[in-house]
Structure 1
Amino acid sequence: MDDQIPNDIKTRQDHELSYYQWIPLIILLMALLFKIPNIMWRMLNVSSGIHLERINQLTDSSQLGTSENRDQTVGHIARYIDRWLRTNREYHRNLLVKIKQRLSNVFLFCLGKREGHFLIGLYLFIKILYCVNCIGQFFLLDVFLSNNYGTYGFEVLKSLSQNVELRESPRFPRVTLCDFEIRQMNNILRWTVQCVLPINLFNEKIFTFLWFWLFLVTILTFLNLFSWWYYVLFQKNKHQFVKKYLIVSKELKSGFEKKLARKFVAEYLRDDGIFVLRMIGKNSTPVILMDLIKELWRLYREEPPGRRTNDILETVSFRKESDI
């Protein structure tokens, strides 16, 4: 406000603040950027051959039904997952298959559909996109606000703790200069007056809230990503996850069964199967998950994967059975 006011009209027009009408669109763009990874997940996860959303719907509905209906639904889901697990695997052991398995351990979902890594790899990739999106939005808002937006929230907290006024953002000036014209006696007189912009107080509070919200979402997203990496990288975590439910259901009574349980996890369920069970567990009760693992264990013991090679994943049939 201490600078000299230029007399040239064009110079004044070049300094006009004309971005206010874009603020709702900027917020809409931020929401869209958060939605894109979710859309990608919904589009790509079906190519794994399993309908996760349908399974979650069935486990949800079974919790409110009778014990007979619940057992029947769990049986349908277990047979569906069993067909999916047996279909998506390599039955021929040769050099090419071994190379693909090695590569799938590195690239996960890129080459890991038959090696049991596709679904979990895709899920981790989507999680990484969410993390990149959170960090990217800080940079985008920093460009838009021209106010070191990455540290803006810390400045707000510092100002509140010291009971001092927060410095004014150049993007949200509370006081500015307004030009208007008055026609008087066939002459046009241009006047420049000081204007107060109360809308900027509101805009400033919106982007202050967005900073704290983005900061919290970024921390939670990274923590969630690291937790899933921890589940995936260590084989012991996968074995313990399944083993605790088999122990509770009293399915592991001998040393042989405990050794067989390791094969059940490593060769039958694999990473994708464990991932599906974890997702079911997050959307249902431990009782449903325990019954489902128990039923899959029974199907595995009746016919280990190496003995059945002609399974076909029948999603349509599964849906019909589920509605019975």
Structure 2
Amino acid sequence: MAVFGLVSSVAGFVKVRYLIDKAVIDNMVFRMHYRITSAILFLCCILVTANNLIGEPISCINDGAIPAHVLNTYCWITYTFTLPNSNSKAVAHPGLGNDYLEEKRIHAYYQWVPFMLFFQGLLFYVPHWVWKNWEEGKIRMISDGIRGTAATIADDKNNRLNRLVQYLVDTRHMHNTYSFGYFFCEIMNFINVVGNIFFLDTFLGGAFLTYGTDVVRFSNMNQEQRTDPMIEVFPRITKCTFHKFGASGTIQKHDALCVLALNILNEKIFIFLWFWFIILSVVSGLALVYSAAVILLPSTRETILKRRFRFGTPAGVESLVRKTQVGDFLLLHLLGQNMSLRVFGEVLDELSRRLHMNSNAPSAPSTLEMAPIYPNIDKYAKETET
């Protein structure tokens, strides 16, 4: 029950948030990082630390000269090892054999797996935390009352819509800093997932980069000739050497065989993470290309308005894109994710009309750019009426 309680606490990362209650301030790829990936890593951390699911994490056997609990504790807090060249069928287990002349492969990572998984979960949450603090609830505040796919037609809906459009007109060309924060956090997401791949490769002694491809290749090999790469990276049977003084004062060496039951879980976790990180890095790279096209190519913004939000005529869309900048478009894009197509279409129509009316008039300075407090828009509307 305790494990169930820990696992259920992770559900908050993947729970569904209705648009009418919480504004969406990012895209699906962004949410794959801080919501799905962080939840996966925290869940894996909980599973690894829940030793009661698989029994003791390590169990060592020797000739009986050393108490079992002492040997288990010693081998867990120090390290165990295997022999990379002893993978033939002439040995009792892969990686075991005479260690006097062969090179040893040290295994001490298992002590740090829970800490590493938890740390990675935090790393994937950091870009979202940075963007959330940078964004400061702007989308939530300026879309209050008209947000959601099932927005009701209330008496003040038109007033709220008009105030939103007026805010967009008055703060036009003043959201580039806002958009810079978003694109910067997207770059952080991509660097983070690629960096975590190399971080895991270093953590596992250079075996993670090719781990997934080795496992796929292993599944296609002849049953009698193949060697499981998961056993090489996460051995289930290892050796441990314990030294102590004998009765005559000489140092006695005691060899032990250790069963690492925890590696049954570790090998499944890391093969899943390999495929997930590869997919996430590719998707994040494509998201960066998409963002670069939005920044550099006005035609991309026109296509998004016409195809995704089904707005206006080609001439009207071209005019709206020409009169706005990247920061304005990002704000509109995020607003479109929080509104129904009908309501967002009304916003764009009214915005286009007002921009066309004001195209020949000089724009007045405004102080609303980075202070998106919805009540301030009410105050501004009253001042303009007087």
- Code of the residue aligned with 1:234 in structure 2: it is L
CA shift for structure 1 position 271: 1.3
Question: Percent identical across equivalent pairs?
Answer: 22
Q: What SS does structure 1 have at the residue aligned with 2:229?
A: coil
Identify which of 300, 304, 312 aligns with 1:246: 312
Report the 3-state secondary structure (helix = DSSP H, G, I; strand = E; otherwise coil) of the residue aligned with 1:245. coil
Deviates more, 1:206-215 or 1:127-136: 127-136
Corresponding residue for 1:83? 170
Among residues 312, 322, 328, which one is paired with 1:266 in the alignment? 322
Aligned residue runs from structure 1 range 1-324, under 5 A? 1-4=96-99, 17-46=107-136, 51-55=138-142, 58-61=145-148, 63-66=150-153, 68-85=155-172, 88=174, 117-162=176-221, 164-168=226-230, 171-178=233-240, 191-242=254-305, 245-247=311-313, 258=315, 262-267=318-323, 269-304=324-359, 306-313=361-368, 315-318=372-375, 321=378
Deviation, structure 1 residue 231: 2.3
Q: In structure 2, the residue corresponding to 1:37 is in which secondary structure?
A: helix
Residue equivalent to 2:43: none
Aligned equivalents of 2:282, 2:375: Cα separation in 1? 39
1:139-188 CA-partner distances (Å, limit 9, x unpaired) = 11111111431121111122223364522455522111245699999999
Structure 1 residue 71 displacement after superposition: 3.2
Does the 8 Å CA contact 1:242/1:265 hold for their aligned counterparts?
Answer: no
Aligned 8 A contact 2:141 2:374 in 1: no
Asked if structure 1 preserves the Cα contact closer than 8 Å seen for 2:142 and 2:373, the reply is: no
The residue type paired with residue 40 of structure 1 is V
Q: Deviations over 1:287-318 (max 9, x none)?
A: 12211111212332343474331433163353
**1:2 maps to amino acid:** G
Q: Report the Cα distance in structure 2 between the residues aligned to 1:52 and 1:185, rounded to whole angstroms.
A: 76
- What per-residue deviation string (whole Å, max 9, x for no partner) do you get for residues 198-228 of structure 1? 1111111111111111011111111111122
**Partner Cα distance (1:305, 1:194) in 2:** 84
CA contact (8 A) 1:62 1:69 kept: no
Supply the AA of the counterpart residue of 1:139: F
Structure 1 window deviating more from structure 2 (177-186 vs 199-208): it is: 177-186
The question of whether the paired residues in 2 share the 8 Å contact of 1:145 and 1:169 is answered with no
Instruction: Measure the CA separation in 1 of the matches of 2:150 and 2:161.
Output: 10
| Contact 2:148–2:340 (Cα < 8 Å) also in 1 | no
Number of residues paired by the alignment?
A: 273
Distance 1:168 1:219 in 2: 24
Paired letter, 2:295? V
**Per the alignment, do residues 145 and 71 of structure 1 end up closer, same or farther by CA in structure 2, a change over 3 Å counting?**
same
Query: Could you report, residue by residue, the CA deviation over 1:86-120 in whole angstroms, capped at 9, with x for unpaired residues?
Result: 6x3xxxxxxxxxxxxxxxxxxxxxxxxxxx64333
How far did 1:62 drift?
Answer: 7.2
For the 8 Å contact 2:236–2:264, the answer to whether it is kept is: yes
Equivalent residues of 1:242, 1:293 under 8 A apart: no
Q: SS where residue 177 of structure 1 aligns?
A: strand
For normalisation by structure 2, the TM-score amounts to 0.60
Task: State TM-score, norm by structure 1.
Answer: 0.70
**Alpha-carbon distance, 1:64 to partner:** 3.3
- Tell me which protein shows more helix as a share of its residues: 1
Q: Equivalents in 2 of 1:119, 1:72: separation in Å? A: 26
CA distance in structure 2 between the partners assigned to 1:225 and 1:185 by the alignment:
68
**More deviation, 173-182/270-279:** 173-182
Aligned residues of 1:59 and 1:284 also touching (Cα < 8 A) = yes
Residue by residue over 1:257-304, the C-alpha shift from the partner in whole angstroms, topping out at 9 and shown as x without a partner, is x4x76454323x221111111122233322122111112123323434
What is aligned with 1:97?
Answer: none
Contact 2:238 2:260 in 1 (8 A): yes
For the aligned residue pairs, the C-alpha RMSD in angstroms reads 3.5
Contact 2:201 2:208 in 1 (8 A): yes
Q: Runs of 5+ in structure 1 lacking a partner?
A: 7-11, 89-115, 253-257
Partner Cα separation in structure 1 for residue 217 and residue 361 of structure 2: 64
Unpaired segments ≥5 residues, structure 2:
1-95, 380-386
Structure 2 letter corresponding to 1:4: D
